Each structure stands twice: as structure tokens, then as C-alpha cells.
Structure 1
Amino acid sequence: MHDDRRVIEARIDRTLRERIRPAVYPHAVPLAVHVWHVPGEPVPVAEGLRATYAPAAVGDAWGPPWGTSWFRFTGEVPAEWAGRTVEAVLDLGFSHPGPGFSAEGLVYRPDGSPVKGLHPKSHWVRLTERTVDLYVEAAANPLIVGPVTALGDPLTAGDAPLYRLARADVAIFDETVWNLAHDLDVLVDLMRQQSLESPRRWEILRACERALDVLDLFDLEATAAAAREKLAPALALPAHPDAHTLYSVGHAHIDSAWLWPLRETVRKVARTAANVVSLMDDDPDVVFAMSQAQQLAWIKEHRPEIFTRVKERIADGRLVPVGGMWVEADANMPGGEAMARQFVHGKRFFLDEFGIETEEVWLPDSFGYSAALPQLIKLSGSKWFLTQKISWNETNKFPHHTFWWEGLDGTRIFTHFPPVDTYNVEFSGKQLAHAVANFEEKGAASRSLAPFGYGDGGGGPTRDMMARARRLANLAGSPRVRIAAPARFFEDAHTEYPDAPVWVGELYLELHRGTYTSQAKTKQGNRRSEHLLREAELWAATAAVRAGFAYPYERLDRLWKTVLLHQFHDILPGSSIAWVHRQARTTYADVAAELGEIIDSAQESLSGAGEGVVVFNAAPHGRNGVPAGGAHPEWAPAEHSAVEEADGGYVLDDGLLRVVVDARGLITSVVADGREAVAPGSAANLLQLHPDHPANWDAWDVNHYYRNTGTDLVDLVSMEARDGAVVVRRAFGASTVEQVVSVADGTVEIDTVVDWHEREKILKAAFPLDVRADRSASETQFGHVYRATHRNTSWEAARFEICAHRWVHVGEPGWGAAVVNDSTYGHDVTSTVRDDGGTTTTVRLSLLRAPRFPDPETDQGEHRFRYALVPGATIGDAVRAGYRINLPARRQPGNAVVEPLVAVDNDAVVVEAVKLADDGSGDVVVRLYEALGGRASARLTVDFPLAAAAETDLLERVLTPSAREGGTVAITLRPFQVVTLRLTPGN
């Protein structure tokens, strides 16, 4: 009985491939083709429609990389086809089977109204009129593949055409044959997931055999219905009562930039939205989830006619906004306030445009998730979290799919990882079987989420997917497929499994660790922009309250959204093509210039007249007599530390620190309060160069084996004393470096300029410290996280490269040290026991990489980094030093004393933002947090008449009134708690 199984399966496969699928379009006639090749960047739709078109033909080449061609297809439906379903079949020359990674198109009617997108899995247009007149805006997006490609930037991509028009027909669509193909596809897929001993496998095999026996291969139109009847019993058997349920929602994960620039994402989003609303017109069961407020804002701005349709579908509950964020941001590197604003701007857009309070935070593809997120999710008014990226772990399998995620402050968020391990489900038998077998909560829970659809410009769900979903809704041998919105899943899953297990701390992705370092200028632009935004809001708010300054609401809103967009999880991590990062550098420069203008204008309105100099301090802690958030006249210039020559090197001394720079230009001693910070026999500020050729994913990954070999950069070109500092110059490979080592206020600061021309290398700066620390503390959003410095377990060993914001701290009881930076995120911290019995704990900053894909020129050129060693530092000292190096004092002409708008009397409580309320009421909003990891009580003093105070959520909506007495507000915070206060000025 079993001997003929392989023969029957081969018969099914061949019949589907060679006869049934081609017969979906049994009759076709060609359309006439005309084309206009756009000279340059894409044009508005109206311009494309009225252009002068030239005759063209199937087989013609079109599309230089990143070019656009407008096609016009015209013809008549044959009269003898009257009463038949007819479609235009348009193949632009799709060279890649996966949608979203090569040519794409959007179909228009002659009046400019969009119809639907075209891609390799959906290149049909339903016709309802006898006369055919369709326009297609075709994008010649190149297929970007490694290991090195020049196609990632129009400056290097060339102009040779990439595609040839492959088909342009009007054809009969045989729905019965199409349904037969899906009947067989679903059953055969299901059959192959059953064991050979399963009766269900043989039931399906015999049903397929009977169907093919009645199918006339020379007359499928006449016999397809009979074949379907033979399959009907096998499709009618219901699923087991205890079958797993897949809550399935249409989805189209669209990277806001990646292997294409931002401008192309605008078009990808329009194509996808047009596809989705068109599919909804034909199929009332479609439910589609769309994240990223930015992408909906693009549709509103650039394609209002599509946005109108989108709003209609949102209103009827079938197109569901999710995510609650401006973009699907990287979740490791954005600063605390920036991450808060992702939720503020995302959720506010959904509220303002659609009246919807999104409750799901939707980050399926970001590269790890900060332990600060649960608190921010809750404070934004959301309560669910979804990702699947942790399934990419290369070392340890995450032990849960449905669980409570506990953040660094103790907040818990109900969280789900779809066990199907993809956000691009196609409802294949293999995917569904994997979801069931992989689900970690079997026996305790019975449902999971399965986002389905093609992403990245692939148009989302298709009619083929919906056909499969219907057949899988209740089918023996398969999990049940239920089309539903994500909120329905989360509500049902929480009801079923309220006592789900708890995961405490960050969700570290054991992959893509190189994204903490790749594209240094993009990361510097982000860090600098975040701190400039802090300054602009602080001084503009202060000037508005004190001097009637016109607070720049619209400008700040626009600038925040620009910065938030560039925190998308393939821009800030440095994993996009060269074009994206080239444009990002320009954008960040423009942002810095505009924010500088706002800061200068606000400070000028505060600094008063006079010939003196007023020093402004935007850091949350005072320095040199200037209070936090205030300004004082500068009475004396800063003094340089003493520098003396010694043994071929130099000694720097500022009265607090004594630092020895040896003849190699390395720091061999840092003594504070009689304690040596540098480990015996070691040297700090040691630059180290390692080969960096990851096993996969160049810009994304750095693998552990890079440490196996490396070079200490100890050779000098020159060294000299200058202005109280030591200047060290080196050359290595094709690169050079100049470092200025200085000492001030108990800190050793290193100002580094690298002219970088290495390939597939990683540059580290090492600080071996004489301290026994079995863990390091790294700043993250609104607090810090601890990570082991040892490798006791595979989980600890996998964290060989870590993300930190402004500082890393290591310590033992009674003594610690911090390494702070102005633009670096990647670090590693290790410890080893020396022969003398002491322990060396080494903190290293990852300064530069040089991957070749997707940008072959990644990081080439000149870079400037500032970082510093703070010996004897507590966590509090690390916090202060981290802010200080990122918020240098500003000087303006004048003589005024500017008292802080608000002040806090407990250094453990840090003021992160001071601004005016977004609603234009004139209220002052202050966001602060407990920074040390302990409980804290403090009094916030307000230096203006205070009529009322209240605690709010991130969106500045009042939660509870705050206790106040005159101009002070009492606050009590749990460890790492974030509090937003809304202060209403009085008369």
C-alpha cells in the first residue's frame, strides 16, 4: 500500500505545477504598452499621468537602479468573454520571488485613483470594464545582495537597466481552477506534516489521487469542479477540539529604511495600503494590523486619497493601528526621553487621527529590548508587548512564548512571542506545524498570534493567503486559523493564562551585536540630537516663562519626529544601505543647526545685556557654581592641569588626579585619593584592532571569535604637551589617530580623532582597571542594568558585546570606576585574575567597525570621539559624568543670573526633561526618574508661581494630583521609577 506514495505525491506536484496553476488563466490576449522613463527622482502622480509616453513592448528593458518608469497598458476585453471574470496580468520582470526586494509597482486608473500594488506574488488587476486603460508607476529598486555591492547608493549604482517587462495581458480568471489549486495546496501541505503512520496522511493522499483521476488535463475548465468534489470530504473534517488556535492578523512589516531609502518607503507604504484596502473591498474577512505612526503620516501627507480609504477601514475596525510608537525603533540605543517620545508621538497620532488608544506595542524586528520598556509601555497607556526577534538567538532558546515581562523598575507587561517565528506567515503547512510544536506553553495555554502577509513593500496579505486561511479555519490535523485583531488575541490569551511565567530584565538578542557600533556618524548624530533637544526644550521653556519667549511648538514637534524616524531599527543600528546613512548625516547636521538656533535665541532672551559672559548648564547636576538648568556669569577662565615630562612620557596633575602617560603614549597610572585605578602591568586608553569578519550579516553581527586575534596599537608617530594636555599621534594600517589626554575635575578625558580607512576591522579602546567586579552596570533608558563580567552560563557568555548609553560602571565595595562617552554604544567588559591574586576588570569601548555590506564604505573617513575615565566613581558619579560629557556648558554674552525653572533636592532623582506642555496651555512639564536603583524622596522646587501640580502619563494626561506646598512638590519614587509632572503656573 505504501509503495506508491512517492509516485502519487510526485504526480500531484507535477499536475499542480504544469497544469493546474497555469490553467488559472486559460485564455489571454496581449495589451498595448507605452512607457515614460522618469528622468531623475519620482514625480507626483499627476505628472506621471500627463507625461508623453512612447510605444513599448513586452521584453523591453527598463529601470536603471532606483529609477522610475510609468507604463500605460491599454486594450479591449474580447466580446466573447462577456460574463467571465477577467483580469489584467502584469509582470514587470520580477527578478526575485520574494516580494519587496526588487521591482514594485502601483496601478492607477486614468483619473489618478490608485488600484493596487504589483509584486511577484500579486501581479493581477481585476477588470470590470471592457476597455482597459491602466497606468503603473514602476520602481526599479535593485536587489541588494552581498558581500559587496555598489547598488546601495545612486551615486555608485550606475545606469544600466535592471529589468525587462515580462508580461502584459488581459486574461480570463478561472476561479474554479484557482480554488482547486488551493484545495490541493492546503491538503498536500498538511499531509506532508503528518507522520507516515498517521491515518490522516493517507486519507489526504487517497483523496488527492481520486481528484486527479477525474481531472481531465486537457479540459481543466470542465473537470475542475468534479475534482474539487473529490477533495471536499478531506477538507470538511474538523480540527480536534483541543487543537491549538492561531489568531491571525494581516500584516506587512515595512522597514522604514533598509535596503532602500526613506523616499522609497513612502511609496512602499502607499502600495501596501492600496493593496490592503483593495483586498478588503473584495473580502469582508480581512483584518490588517498596521504599526508605525510615521508610515500612516506619510500616507496622509503624500497620498491623501489612499489615506481617506485607510481611515474608512480603521473606522470600521478592519484596519487596526498597533504599535503605539512613531516608528518600530531600535530598543537599545535611543535615550530615555527619546524612547518616551516614541510613544508620545506615536500614540498621539493614532488618537488625533483615528480616536484610537493603541494598547499593543508592536516591535517584531528590533534587535533586543531594553529593560526600561515595560515601565514606558505602561506609562504610555499600553498594556501588551509583541516581538518575535528573540527567536533569532544563536546560542540560547528563549524559554517562553507567552509570559509577563518585568522591567528594571518592577513594572510587568503581558508579552507574546509568536511561536511561528515569523511575522510574514503564508499559512504553509510547515509554518503551522512549527508554531504548534514550538509553542513553549503547551498544556497551560492554547493560542498564539500569527501575523500573515508579505512585508517590505510586498503588499501585505493576499487573496491566496485568505483562501488558505479559510480552509485552515477548522481542518483536521491542523491548528485552527482565526482571523482576528491583535487585541482579541491578547485579551483571550491573558484570560486563559493570567499566571504566565515572569522574565525579569532586558530581552537581550544573542545576535546583531555589531549594530551597537556600525555607522558611527549615524549614532553620533542621534546622541547629539537627543541632547540638543533637551537643551532646546529646557531653555525655550525657561525663556517662555521668564521672558515671554515664543515657545517653538511646531518646530520642536517636527524636529523630534525627524530624530525619532532615524531611530528606526535599521537606521540607528547602522544596517541600511549607503544612501540612507549619507542622507542621515545631512539630516542630523540640519537638525543640529536648527536646534542651535532655538537654543541661542532662548539663551539670548535670558542672558541680559552686558559685556560679560553667561555660562549655561543644561545638565541635571550643577557644576563650577552653575546650577542644574541655570546660568551664571563666568568670573574666571578654567585653569589647565599641570603637565610635567617624566621618563619619556608625561605626568598630568589637577590636584585631584595624578595621571602618568608613558613613553608609548599610554596611561599606565591614574591615582586618586591614594588609590591606583589602572591594573598592574596594564595600560589604559589602549587602542586595540581586531579582525571583524562575521559568519553572517556584516553590518549587523560581531562574533565572539574576533577576540581570538588582535593588535595593540602602541607605536607612536609623535607625542607632545599642549595647553595642559598630552597629544598622542599614531598610525596603523591605512589609518591615523590623534588623541588629546587631559585631566579636569577628577576625570581623565580622551578626545580622539580617527581617520579610519580599515576594512573588516573593529577598533576598541581598553581600560584595564584594578577592581574586582563580577558584574558591570550599564546606563540604559531611565536607569541602568547589571550584566555579568564572567561566563558561568551560556546566557552570560552570549553577552560578550553589550549596549550602554553614556556610561559603564564597575566596582567593588568601597571603590568603583566609570567609563563615560559622548557617542559610543557598543562595549565589552571582562574580568581575569592576575598572578598576584588581584583581579583586572577591563572595560572596552567599541569605537569603529568597517563592514562591507550593505554599505561597502561603512565608517570610512574621519571621526571624533570623546570618552573619559572617572576613577573612584559611584553610580551617582557615573550618572553625573555621563550627562556632563554629553552636555557641555554654553556661553552667551551678558551678565544675567538665570535661576533654574525647577530644582530637585536629591541627587538620586534626575530631571530628564523640562518643557512646555504639548497642548499649548503654557503648563510646564517635568520628567524625572530615580537613577541609582533605590527608593528616593525629594522635593521639586518650582521657581515660578505654582497654581496646580499633577502626575501624568507620558502623553501629559493627568493621573493624580500631586502634593504641593507653595512652590514645592513632594515626590517619592521606587527604584528607577519615571514620573512626569504637569505644573500649572499661577498669577
Structure 2
Amino acid sequence: MHDDRKLVEARLERVLRERLRPAVHPVSTPLTVEVWTAPGEPVPVAEGLAAPTRPIAPGTPWGAPWGTSWFKVTGTVPAAWAGRTVEAVLDLGFTPRTPGFQCEGLVYRPDGTPVKGLHPRNAYVPVGSPVTGGEQVHWYVEASSNPDLEASGVPFQPTLLGDPATAGDAPQYVLGEMRLAVLDETVWDLVLDLEVLGELMAELPVDGARRWEILRAIGRALDAVDLQDVNGTAAAARDELAGVLAAPAVPAAHRVSAVGHAHIDSAWLWPLRETVRKVARTASNMTALLDADPDFVFAMSQAQQYAWIKEHRPEVYARVKKAVADGRFVPVGGMWVESDTNMPGSEAMARQFVHGKRFFLEEFGVEDSEVWLPDTFGFAAGLPQIIRAAGATRLLTQKISWSRTNSFPHHTFRWEGIDGSRVFTHFPPVDTYNCEVTGAQIAHAARNFKEKGVASRSLAPVGFGDGGGGTTREMVAKAARLRDLEGSATVAWESPAAFFDQAQAEYPEPPVWVGELYLELHRATLTSQAQTKRGNRRSESLLTEAELWAATATVRTGAPYPYEALDRIWKTVLLHQFHDILPGSSIAWVHREARETYARLAGELDGIIGEAQRALAGDASGGTELVFNPAPHARDGVAAGGAAARPALGDTVVPVPRDEGGYVLDNGLLRVVVDARGLVISVYDHAAGREALAPGQAANLLQLHPDLPNQWDAWDVDAFYRNVGTDLTDVTVLRAEGAAVRVERAFGASRVTQLLSVPVDTKRLDLVTEVDWHETERFLKLAFPLDVKADRYASETQFGHVYRPTHQNTSWEWARFEACNHRFVHVGEPGWGVALVNDATYGHDVTREVRTGGDGGTTTTVRASLLRAPRFPDPETDQGVHRFRHALVPGATIGDAVREGHHANLPVRRVTGTAAEVAPLVSVDQDAVVVSATKLADDGSGDLVVRLYEAHGARARATVRVDGADAGRAVLTDLLERPLAAAEPPVRTADGVELALRPFQMVTLRLPRA
């Protein structure tokens, strides 16, 4: 065989690069180009089309960061080209970088109708096939000069380009050639033939006959090409390849269902407003490609992105709606955005499906069964129940393949959540959501597929994503050649539903994975951009309050229910839960706008709450002070979801100085000792006669670590951060301040102030920590070393909690060195435990250590992650003032943890009026059953909707009483408030509705108004 293989491979690469690809457009002629640069933000299309332009020549710099330029492109097709295929090639100044991370454009006709989008791998615009000659070309290109934040070629370098306020105005791009060109379709096809065969050949065994058969055919084809007359000899070269391209795949070949796709981050290295345009460009391209190829199928998720097209580019939306009606453009996923699934609260995660599914139903009459989350950073254990309650049954994701420690054992399996719900799940073994249908990718999918022998098919999302672009005509052409080709997996365009139908039919009983799908990467997204996370948590809590009090006011007083406002605010909050916004991994611009948005929403929601409570309280001149408690448990004499007059609230014990320095706070239930360093050295539970803290150790301990991950600055924290740390024990101020102990510290360029207090009649140490943070590449933790022997701990997640081990017996446990919780973490021994609750933090770690010497006991340390300081993509991440509230609850059961977690996030409010009390609209006689939502039905019927769940992880019976609703007509519904036909009807009694719930079961009740 000599060295023919290497010679042919090298020859193929050079001939493609230097002769064949340039011959795809054998002749061309320049177009005339003029430009107008919009001042500031993008302008409406009509304004861009009407703006005055000036000439601009190729080689001219253009485009300030985040700017918009409108190029006017005109020309005439030469008469000599009659009968040929002609297209324009419009180079805005593209770089070799991947599409979506640089300049882009959308082409319009003079009447404002869109033609297609432009990016570096899709720069053509069809003119005619064939042309008659003399056709006039007149287009406008809305071009965005989005800066390439990694143009240096060195990833994750701090940049000021991520915000217009710091980006400057230097031109980012140099205009390339804008020309009309003849498209030689024979040469184009030859290029695709050779690329497919060359890529396939490289994946086949070196000593296999098929590889050598392809190699010889490629050699003959290259011999047949006259390099001085490529266009005249391309057909002959294709003839030499026809035989090897016609050889069918073996019957046992792996089957790849290709789905056209463009995973578009709703914000990331660009702002929300630019995503609006990215989606329009991509949808324009995809609808054009659907028209050009009858086999192609494209799927797009995220109802928010459809809504953007509808609002901002109605002409594009009309094309999308037609393609959806034809079954070719497939709405998929059923969520408002591809959200993070770790941090959103129970109701927010449910509403992602409510708003997403409702949009698809109302706009397209489509309801899919597939949840589509290819790029989300791990999946909370409560998610399967939510998926099923939304009427979906299947999940697709790819991201778990990014895990750095353990390889997930399945590609097709059933995923079981905390309540026992299961969803059929597929991880595409192609290991990318940006598949380009290369030979290497398709071969990897077949080799990598872990279900060989019991299943034979997988899915591949095909198209440029992240920054958008979607599938290209070259990808479609490659898929056509791989449809049935010997040596390769087969490739066929199919919808996600078609793939899942076939996959389930083929493999009806796949293995089961129980519990969270933890991503062993991107753990720092639980902490980065603390103010974004606080805004999310606060918005979720305010929405819970607003719905509760507005519904109560409507039922009790006839006040109008703010349907439109609540719908709009929910959608805004859900948008900001996108998996690069809430996780803190977007540019500075995105997070600056998020902070502004959250502040605006808080003001609006406070207004809704205040108006409803004033309606319930009566005349403000009445002089009676009512305290409204929105928490799902009663506290301090105030009924949950109701209000009472003048209860004693907020009292705390007064600190008593110690002889050794520091203070003691003792309310008869809890004794807390603060030493001269401002550290807590004792938390004693009087009733249990037990110390909560490990001997000789201190709680309320701030610990500072260096934090420079190997990659992905805002996303990652690597395990080695724990090798070095500094305990912050120096104190600058320690004094009693009212009923609290005030502690101040300084470290680096930062300062921290803490207030420690113990409320009366509670077993709770409250801590308020304010940090003026000015560190770089540091990680701040708040530690509580507990005298508890716990092999596992509970961490709140959606509609329940998940248990994680505290030990590191295996690599799977070791890899969970940073994890997510919602409002509480609970560690315990039989009969006694401790909870740490919070109002805005998510990341934490829990470790255990057996004490050597002394008592030989076990210390379980719980640490809350407060702040980080990564420099990419936002070099000023988290600089400034932050405020955190935590509470340590000794002697806590899981029920106590649930209750205190709610109270920390749903504070009571005081309103003056004439009413003596406001009875709860909804009451439940079982503490284990928590009300997560009380609202009026979304359809405007006035029906009351109540969502509840079992929160302790045990079976529970409860009676739900609803004032002002007809319990005799109560029905169980799905998340979209539609009756569940297959469900057993609830037991209705004179007192209300009786429920028997499984551990962590969530139910939605709909009750007509009485």
C-alpha cells in the first residue's frame, strides 16, 4: 500500500483549499455599497431603510462596539450570465471565528421584507437560478458590529468591551468584498462529495477495505480534475466518486436523527436586545433553508424568542408561523426560556412551563412532549415531577457530557425525581449541540453511544448555536450524502418528537437514574453575580406575595385582579432565569440591566401588594395596625396567608457583655456566645441540653480563598481552591447595637459588617452580613462547624429537598464539592438537627471530619458561598456592596427548616386600617403540606388556583380549606390549570378538600368561586 494514504489525504486538503473551493464562484462582479451608521441603539427597520447613506469601499473600517450600520447594496446581473445560477456574497468583514461571536447582518428588500441573515459561514444571498441577465439587485443590510470578546485568540481575558459604557468607539471590523457571483453548483457538489468522503475515510480503520476503497476513488477524482479548468472537469471528478457514494450502510449501522437547530443564548456575550436580532436573522435563514430543501426539519425552543420575533420582526414571524403550520419549523421544549434549573424556585420552575406551553398552544396550536435543555448547567432532582405536571414526558440535554470527573453511564435512560416521577431522557452521544455533520462528529456519536446492543438511534442537533446562525446549506448537503452511506452511521432529518417516539418504541425499558443530574463543571455559577441572584430570589418571593394578596383582595373585596401585570412580570423574571443570566456568566451589560430590571419589578410588585393589603385592611385612618404574613406556616400569632392586629413581632434579646470579651445572647431557648473576635463559639439548645458547634471551633467564620479556575472564569470553581484559605478573624469593631451584636472587619480592599441577634421565642440565630467587596479572583465563604454526625444532608430544591452525602467514598461524591440549595440546608442525627437558612445564596459545601483526640466526635461543616470575583466576561463582577441574611436553627427538624426558610424570604408587612384581622384565604391543617401558590386562574374565569406540595419527604394527609371558593367542585389540574382526566377526583367534604400525598408530591387544585 506504500504511502498512498498520507499522500492522497494531503493532496485532497490542498486541492480543496486552493483550487476547488475558490472555483465554487468562478466569476464575480463588485456591488455598489453605501452605509449609514445609526447613532446609539438600533433603530426601527423603516428608519434604517430611509436613512441617508454615503459610499464605502472594501477595506474600510466600520462599526463601533455594539453599533449598527445599514449598508445599501446595489448592482446589476451581467447579461453574459444568463442561464446560470447567481448569488451575492456579502462579506461584512467576517473573521474565521465561529458564527455568533462577531459581526452579523440581516438583509432586507427596499420594502422592508427580510431576505436572510448573514454570518461568516452563511454569507450568500440568492439572486436567481437561472437568471436572465440584467436583474437589478437592491438590498439593505442591518449589520451589527458586536465585538468579538475573544478576538485575541486567548480565551477568558478581561475585557471592557462587554458594556457600551466602557467599550469605546473604535471600529471593530473592516468591510470585505460585496459582490455578485456565479454559483457553479457542480463544483459546489464536488466539494461536498470530497469533504464527506475525506472525513469518513479519516474515521475508518486504517487497514479496512472501505477506507482504501474511498481513498482510491478520491485519488481518481483528483486525477480527473484539471486544475487549470476546475469548472469544466468537475462533473468528471464527481463521476469517479459516484460508486463509493452509492454504497449503502450496513443494516446494523447506528441511526442519527438530525434536527436542525440553533441554540441561541438569550443573553451571554451580548445583551438581550441583540438576541432579539440574532433570533430574527437565524429564523430568516432557517425558513429560507426549509423552502430550499424538502427534507430539512428545524426545531427552535424558548417561547420568549418567538415572542421577540412576533413583536420586533412580524414579517419574519409570518414565515415562521407558516413553517410551523407545515410541520417543518418545530417549536420544542415548552419553556419560556432554556433556564437554569438548579436555582429557580418551585413556582418559577413551574411557570417556565406554564408560560412556554401556553404561548405555543395559543400561537401555533402545538403542545410538545419534549423538554429541550441542551446547555443547562445540571438538573435539579425536583424537575421530573414538574415536567410531568406540565404534560411533558421526555427530556433532551447534552451538557452532562461536559462533566470533568465521571462519565455519565447512559445516553438513553429514565430519570427519576424526588417524588418518583420519571421522564424518558436522551443525551446525544454526538456530544455537542452545535453539530456540523462532520465525519468525525457522526463517527463519534456512533462510537460513543452507550446503549449499543439494546438501542440503535440517537439525536444530533445540527447547526451553529450559542450566538445563533443555525443550520447551513452545506450541513444539509452533508446529511443527504450520509443518509445511507457505507462505513457511516445513517443520518435522516427528523423532528424531536419523531426521534423520541422511535427511541421509546425501540427501548421501552431503559435503565433508571435517580436523583439530580449534577454537572461536574460550572459550579461557580451558583455564586457569581450575587446581585442578580438576589434580584431573582426577591422577585420570586414578591410574586408569591402579590398573587396571594391580590387573589385574597379580589375574593374578599371585589378588587380587580392584576392579570396583565402579573403575567408580564412573571415572563420578565423567567427570562432572567436564562442559563447565562441567573448563573452570572454574561457580560457586564446584561447584569447591569438585570439589576435595573429587578429594582423596577420590585417597585411594581410592592405596589400590587400594598394596594391589595390596603383594600383588605380597610380605611387607613382606622388606626389599627395589621401584620400580614404571607408564609405558608403560621408565625407569632399571625395566620399564614392572613393578617392579625398588633401581634408582638420582631423582639430580640439584648446582648450581655462577657468578662472575656464579646457578648452572650440568651432567650431561654437558645444561648449564643460571641467571643472577642466576633466569632460565635457556642450555640446551646436549652431544651435538648446540647451544644450545636463542634468543640473548640467557631461559627460565623468568614473564610477567603484564592479563586483562579483553569478555565471558564465566571462559571467554574476548581477543587484546588480549598488548598489555601484565610480565616478572617481580625475585628475592627465589636459592640452591642440595640438588640444585636455588631461586628466589623477589614480585609484586602474590602470591609464586612455583621449584625447577630436572637429573636425571642425562637431557636434561631439571625445573621445579617453586609460586604463592601473589592477583591479580585477571591472566593468568600461563611462557615458553621457543627457537632453533628451526618452521613448525608438535605438541601432544598423545587417542591422538596434532595439528600447528598457528606462523605467522599467515590469520585461521584467527591465531585459534588459545591452544590445548590434554595432556602435551607439541614444536617442531622436521629432526633436532633441543625438548619442553615438564607434569603439569597445558592452555592454551598458540606464536609465532615472525625475529630482526632478529645471526644472522637464528628464535625460536619456547612459553608455558604457568598461572593466571587472573576474577571471574565465581566471584569467588575460583584464589586460593591452586598447584603446577606442567614439564620442558624439548632434543634431543627426538616419541618423547621422548611418553615424558617420561608420566613426568611417572605417577611411580614404592617398596614394600618379598620379591620381587626384578615382570615387566610387558604388554610391547611398539616404543617408538612406547603402552599406554594394561591392565585386566580390564568384564563380570567375568576376560579381560584392553589398549588401545594408535601415538604417533609413523607406521606401526609391534609384538609385544604379555601374561603370564598366552592370546594365541592374542586378539581385536580396540571400546571396549565387544565383538569386531569385520568386523576382520581379529590375527596370533597363540608370543610374543604382532603388530600393524601406521597412524599414530595405536588398537586394543583382549581376551585370555582362560591
TM band (smaller chain): over 0.9
Cα deviations by residue, 1:781-815 (Å, 9 ceiling, x for unpaired): 00000111111000000000010000000001111
CA distance in 2, matches of 1:287, 1:695: 39
CA distance in 1, matches of 2:96, 2:860: 50
Are 2:184 and 1:171 equivalent residues in the alignment? Answer: no
Are 2:741 and 1:726 equivalent residues in the alignment? Answer: yes
Are 2:132 and 1:132 equivalent residues in the alignment? Answer: no
Equivalent residue, structure 1, for 2:751: 736
CA distance in 1, matches of 2:380, 2:468: 30
CA distance in 2, matches of 1:639, 1:217: 90
Are 2:902 and 1:883 equivalent residues in the alignment? Answer: yes
CA distance in 2, matches of 1:131, 1:945: 68
Unaligned segments of structure 1, at least 5 residues? none
Residue 386 to residue 945, structure 1, CA distance change in 2 (3 Å): closer
Equivalent residue, structure 1, for 2:690: 675
CA distance in 1, matches of 2:89, 2:954: 65
Are 2:248 and 1:238 equivalent residues in the alignment? Answer: yes
Equivalent residue, structure 1, for 2:821: 804
- Pairwise CA distance, 1:97: 2.6
Equivalent residue, structure 1, for 2:36: 36
Output aligned runs, 1:594-605, within 5 Å.
594-605=604-615
Cα deviations by residue, 1:277-299 (Å, 9 ceiling, x for unpaired): 11111111110000000000000
- Pairwise CA distance, 1:3: 2.1
Equivalent residue, structure 2, for 1:749: 766
Are 2:686 and 1:662 equivalent residues in the alignment? Answer: no
Equivalent residue, structure 2, for 1:642: 654
Q: Residue 958 of structure 1 aligns to a residue in which SS?
A: coil
Cα deviations by residue, 1:160-196 (Å, 9 ceiling, x for unpaired): 0000111101000000000000000000100010111
CA distance in 1, matches of 2:74, 2:595: 44
Equivalent residue, structure 2, for 1:950: 971
Equivalent residue, structure 1, for 2:115: 115
- Pairwise CA distance, 1:895: 3.9
- For residue 921 of structure 1, the aligned residue among 935, 938, 941 is 941
- Pairwise CA distance, 1:99: 0.5
Output aligned runs, 1:686-725, within 5 Å.
686-725=701-740
CA contact (8 A) 2:636 2:649 kept: no
- Pairwise CA distance, 1:218: 1.1
- Pairwise CA distance, 1:637: 5.6
Cα deviations by residue, 1:639-686 (Å, 9 ceiling, x for unpaired): 330321002110011221110000000000011122100110000100
- For residue 362 of structure 1, the aligned residue among 361, 372, 377 is 372
- For residue 784 of structure 2, the aligned residue among 746, 767, 770 is 767
- Pairwise CA distance, 1:458: 3.7
Equivalent residue, structure 2, for 1:795: 812
CA contact (8 A) 1:944 1:967 kept: no
| Stretch of structure 1 that moved more, 869-878 or 212-221 | 212-221
CA distance in 2, matches of 1:424, 1:730: 48
CA contact (8 A) 1:271 1:457 kept: no
Cα deviations by residue, 1:346-370 (Å, 9 ceiling, x for unpaired): 0000000000111100000000001
Output aligned runs, 1:448-847, within 5 Å.
448-609=458-619, 610-636=622-648, 638-646=650-658, 647-672=660-685, 673=687, 674-744=689-759, 745-835=762-852, 836-847=855-866
Equivalent residue, structure 2, for 1:14: 14
Please provide the CA RMSD for this pair.
0.9
CA distance in 2, matches of 1:378, 1:518: 31
Equivalent residue, structure 2, for 1:144: 149
- Pairwise CA distance, 1:635: 4.3
Residue 791 to residue 636, structure 1, CA distance change in 2 (3 Å): closer
Letter in 2 for 1:741: L
CA distance in 1, matches of 2:650, 2:724: 43
Equivalent residue, structure 2, for 1:904: 924
CA distance in 1, matches of 2:371, 2:75: 47
CA distance in 2, matches of 1:290, 1:410: 30
Cα deviations by residue, 1:858-903 (Å, 9 ceiling, x for unpaired): 0000000000100000000000000001011100112421000110
Equivalent residue, structure 1, for 2:958: 938
Cα deviations by residue, 1:181-237 (Å, 9 ceiling, x for unpaired): 000000010001011101111101110111111111111121110110010001000
Equivalent residue, structure 1, for 2:153: none
Letter in 1 for 2:1009: P
CA contact (8 A) 2:636 2:647 kept: no
Are 2:240 and 1:227 equivalent residues in the alignment? Answer: no
- Pairwise CA distance, 1:944: 2.0
- Pairwise CA distance, 1:4: 2.4
Letter in 1 for 2:724: T
CA distance in 2, matches of 1:26, 1:11: 22
Cα deviations by residue, 1:370-411 (Å, 9 ceiling, x for unpaired): 111111111101111000100000000000000000010001
Q: TM-score, normalised by structure 2?
A: 0.97
CA distance in 2, matches of 1:93, 1:61: 9
CA contact (8 A) 1:65 1:140 kept: yes
- Pairwise CA distance, 1:943: 1.7
CA distance in 2, matches of 1:935, 1:408: 13
Letter in 1 for 2:696: G
CA distance in 2, matches of 1:500, 1:490: 13
Residue 8 to residue 945, structure 1, CA distance change in 2 (3 Å): closer
Q: Residue 192 of structure 1 aligns to a residue in which SS?
A: helix
CA distance in 2, matches of 1:504, 1:638: 42
CA distance in 2, matches of 1:457, 1:726: 50
CA distance in 2, matches of 1:970, 1:301: 45
Equivalent residue, structure 1, for 2:885: 866
CA contact (8 A) 1:640 1:723 kept: no
Are 2:981 and 1:962 equivalent residues in the alignment? Answer: no
| Stretch of structure 1 that moved more, 748-757 or 636-645 | 636-645
CA contact (8 A) 1:99 1:120 kept: yes
- Pairwise CA distance, 1:638: 4.1
Letter in 2 for 1:69: S
Q: TM-score, normalised by structure 1?
A: 0.99
How many residue pairs match? The answer is 986
Residue 213 to residue 747, structure 1, CA distance change in 2 (3 Å): same
- Pairwise CA distance, 1:829: 0.2
| Stretch of structure 1 that moved more, 757-766 or 832-841 | 832-841
Equivalent residue, structure 2, for 1:975: 999
| Stretch of structure 1 that moved more, 265-274 or 639-648 | 639-648
- Pairwise CA distance, 1:855: 0.2
Q: Residue 966 of structure 1 aligns to a residue in which SS?
A: coil
CA contact (8 A) 1:272 1:457 kept: no
Q: Residue 499 of structure 1 aligns to a residue in which SS?
A: coil
- Pairwise CA distance, 1:116: 0.5
Unaligned segments of structure 2, at least 5 residues? 151-155
Q: Residue 928 of structure 1 aligns to a residue in which SS?
A: strand
Identity of aligned residues (%): 67
CA distance in 2, matches of 1:952, 1:772: 42
CA distance in 1, matches of 2:360, 2:773: 44
Letter in 1 for 2:623: E
CA distance in 2, matches of 1:177, 1:462: 17
